[in-house]
Structure 1
Amino acid sequence: MLKMPCCRIWLLPFVLICMTWMPSVASPVRLSPAAQISLLTCAPGAETYALFGHSALRVSDPALGLDQVYNYGTFDFQTPHFYWRFLRGDLRYFLSAVPFTTFCRGYAQEGRAVSEQVLALQPEEVQRLYTQLETTLHSPAKYYRYQFFADNCSTRLFALLTSSVNEPLQLDSTQQASPPTYRQLLAPYLAPAPWVQLGMNIGLGLPTDRPTTFRQRLFLPVELQQALAHATRQAQPLVAQQRQIVVPANSSASPTGLTPMGLLLGWVVLSILIWQWLSSPAWLLRMNARVLFTVTGLLGCLLTGLSLGSLHTPVQANYQILWLLPSHLLVGLVRSRAWWRYYAVVAIVCSSSVACLPHN
């Protein structure tokens, strides 16, 4: 009966030491007047999640030997049911911090350029922003639900910056002649990845085709970089210095391998050749029809599931379902019935109607 209290007394000094040490770890240090904050903009990469580039904040203080990069675009591939949670929009992203040299080394190895914009902030603004980053980093608030257009690595940094400055930022929206849609903004980034481009053009719904405001375009890292480059405060430029800190080797990104258009052309050419060889071309027509309706039916089931179950707003209200009907799967899998021809005619009419809609 006397051993338990003795053990507690023995552990008490260690508990007190941990209690006094932990706040010192979580409490941000006081920066010197020489501290600076920079926006780092990373060029697009080859991976799907890197096609649109990346944004991060660098906090440097030569007097303290501090040089950290804070990144809101971190996620864990080991998360259970990773791909399902990503499609549903329930994947947790979080804020992380790494040394500046480690950050640059990783992007140099990937061959991706990194540019830096040193922000002309006052010492108290630098301290306020750094304190918010450190406080968030050591709290559950570092986790958030990622939303591609509304809440990502770029929008979080812009919101953090605007909440930390003493005077509001003056953005120059005259740089954009006409308000583009989300789909138009994504098109140049998707060009090197035709299969991803096809999937996103099919998977993204009506919200993607709405015109964007100047603030809404800042979800893209390059758009945020250009906006800050022309931003001012009290008639003074917000960016004090801009430089490139990682210069990759010259490389031209171009689609490689089989593209969707190449697959379609190959299918048409092969069908024509088989048609010439077979004495009964009707069999070939039935086979192609089954393949076509099976593929479109599976895509329709996927789009319906995303529209009903995903938390991502851009995949909702998807008019592609007007021709990618889930019921197409019945025509592709079951044997031909009397209603098959009538259904095929209706499907072709729907497909032709949707094809006339704008997709830019």
Structure 2
Amino acid sequence: MKLKIISALSYFLLNIALQPVSAQLTASSKISLLSIGPGKDVYSAFGHSAMRISDPGSGIDNVYNYGTFTFDNNFYIKFAKGENDYWLSIVPFQREYYIWAVLENRNVIQQTLNLTVKQKNDLYRFLENNALPQNSEYRYDYFYDNCSNRIDIALKEVFGNNVKFYADSVVKERGQSGATIRQLTHQYLQQNKWGELGIETCLGIEMDKKITPEQFKFLPDFLMWNYDKAEIKSSDKFVPLVKEKMFLFKSNEQLNKESFSTYFSPTVCFSIILLIAVIISFPKLNKSLYARLFDFVLFFSCGIVGFLLLFLWFFTTHNSQMNFNLIWANPLGLSLSFSTFSRKFNRTISKYYFCYALLLVFTIMAWAILPQQLNFAYLPVCLALALRCFSIYSIGLHGRAQR
């Protein structure tokens, strides 16, 4: 009997010891949503959200950051497979502020929440518990489970029906009713056209899915705008969730401009490729070594992209299924590109190029109504591919010139 009592008491004490130990926030404490503006790198192009808890009485001023990751532990392999694990970290505010404002020149906006002392402590305990090693990690998803989504979930779990969001109203005010993920993300990538091209190439038809107004909160700006309108229950009545909103830092926008992306955008570069395709398609150059080298590089490159898209489709957990970019980035082009150097040009290969050309022409004609909105920069690529396919088919009909 004594042994059972001792065991039960030991189990009880062990459970207490394993619980997160946190100081109680005082009446002077503040909990705020921090919205950080877009950065220059692709991974920071959509902005960032974090929570700040400060309490002069307890000596606390920390940032709770759900967007923490490391480049260690095979980061790039996991990123390619869509298996990135992010986690909630607790970092001193001044350290994070220095990175965002001084090193990265990004806007930092603070919305102080209108919470009672009890509500502050409830949210504080939730975040502290989430930050424990056994709870902190989660499988990151670009659009459905990121730093902004996690904060939204935190408030809903802690306050339940005591907090009201008006997501429909926010979406309508911003003129984004019925917008797709692609349309939303496009607005944040205007200064990084190559980054936009990479994202839109790798991610498939999922980006053209219309999402609910609540799901718009995957973007930090929409989370911030939702907070502006939200209400929370206090003393049997609903009051505005945000008590005070202010800029902690305003970026110098001139420093964020990307001149390379402006003058050497994908559209400009791919238009040059189209121009070369037109020039070498003239009769005097069509059978030349230059034309063959160009065709090899063009079809080989598109084939490489096609194999990458197939890998993303079948071997990763990214939102990359059903990718219409495979129309122009045909994986068969990787092997058939070598036929451009062949002395013998059989009918099977000739028919392939003809069918490929017809498919490209159909794609160009149906560009505006395709289920997946292809990046406009790929239009010159499709035109160049179609032109060279018809040219190679024509060569096949009239016989390959002997070297």
SS of the equivalent of 2:135 reads helix
Q: TM-score, normalised by structure 2?
A: 0.78
Aligned to 1:359: 373
Aligned to 1:37: 31
Could you tell me which runs of 5 or more consecutive residues in structure 2 were left unpaired when the two chains were aligned: 1-12, 375-403
SS of the equivalent of 1:339 reads helix
Q: 1:249: Cα distance to partner?
A: 2.5
Q: Tell me which of 265, 273, 290 is aligned to 1:267.
A: 273
Aligned to 1:299: 305
How far apart are the structure 1 equivalents of 2:356 and 2:214?
40
Q: Tell me which of 108, 113, 117 is aligned to 1:119.
A: 113
How far apart are the structure 1 equivalents of 2:135 and 2:354?
54
Cα-to-partner distance string for 1:70-129 (whole Å, 9 max, x where unaligned): 10111111222x212102111211111111111111112211110001111222221111
Q: 1:231: Cα distance to partner?
A: 1.3
Percent identity over the alignment is: 30
- Asked if the contact 2:23–2:58 (Cα under 8 Å) also holds between the matched residues in 1, the reply is no
Could you tell me which runs of 5 or more consecutive residues in structure 1 were left unpaired when the two chains were aligned: 1-18
How far apart are the structure 1 equivalents of 2:311 and 2:84?
17
Cα-to-partner distance string for 1:135-170 (whole Å, 9 max, x where unaligned): 221232101110111110000010001111261323
SS of the equivalent of 1:69 reads strand
Q: TM-score, normalised by structure 1?
A: 0.87
Q: 1:182: Cα distance to partner?
A: 0.2
Q: Tell me which of 272, 293, 314 is aligned to 1:308.
A: 314
How far apart are the structure 2 equivalents of 1:343 and 1:286?
17
- Asked if the contact 2:37–2:107 (Cα under 8 Å) also holds between the matched residues in 1, the reply is yes
* Aligned ranges 1:321-336 → 2 under 5 Å: 321-334=326-339, 335=342, 336=345
Aligned to 1:288: 294
* Aligned ranges 1:217-228 → 2 under 5 Å: 217-228=216-227
Aligned to 1:244: 247
Aligned to 2:6: none
Q: 1:25: Cα distance to partner?
A: 9.8
SS of the equivalent of 2:287 reads helix
Q: For residues 60 and 359 of structure 1, do their structure 2 counterparts lie closer, same or farther at Cα, with a shift above 3 Å needed? A: same
Q: Tell me which of 335, 349, 353 is aligned to 2:358.
A: 349
How far apart are the structure 1 equivalents of 2:39 and 2:26?
36
Q: 1:342: Cα distance to partner?
A: 1.3
Aligned to 1:176: 171
Cα-to-partner distance string for 1:328-356 (whole Å, 9 max, x where unaligned): 21221343443222111222222333342
Aligned to 1:8: none
Task: State the one-letter code of the partner of 1:295.
Answer: S
SS of the equivalent of 1:296 reads helix
Cα-to-partner distance string for 1:232-289 (whole Å, 9 max, x where unaligned): 235421111100101223425244153212222333445566778x954322443333
- Asked if the contact 2:285–2:291 (Cα under 8 Å) also holds between the matched residues in 1, the reply is no
How far apart are the structure 2 equivalents of 1:186 and 1:227?
18
Q: For residues 341 and 37 of structure 1, do their structure 2 counterparts lie closer, same or farther at Cα, with a shift above 3 Å needed? A: same
Cα-to-partner distance string for 1:28-70 (whole Å, 9 max, x where unaligned): 1111122221000001101121111100000111211211001
SS of the equivalent of 1:192 reads coil
Cα-to-partner distance string for 1:165-188 (whole Å, 9 max, x where unaligned): 261323241232321000000001
- Asked if the contact 2:165–2:226 (Cα under 8 Å) also holds between the matched residues in 1, the reply is no
Aligned to 1:11: none
How many pairs align?
A: 338
Task: State the one-letter code of the partner of 2:260.
Answer: T
2:219 equivalent to 1:213 = no
CA RMSD of aligned residues (A): 2.4
- Asked if the contact 1:28–1:135 (Cα under 8 Å) also holds between the matched residues in 2, the reply is no
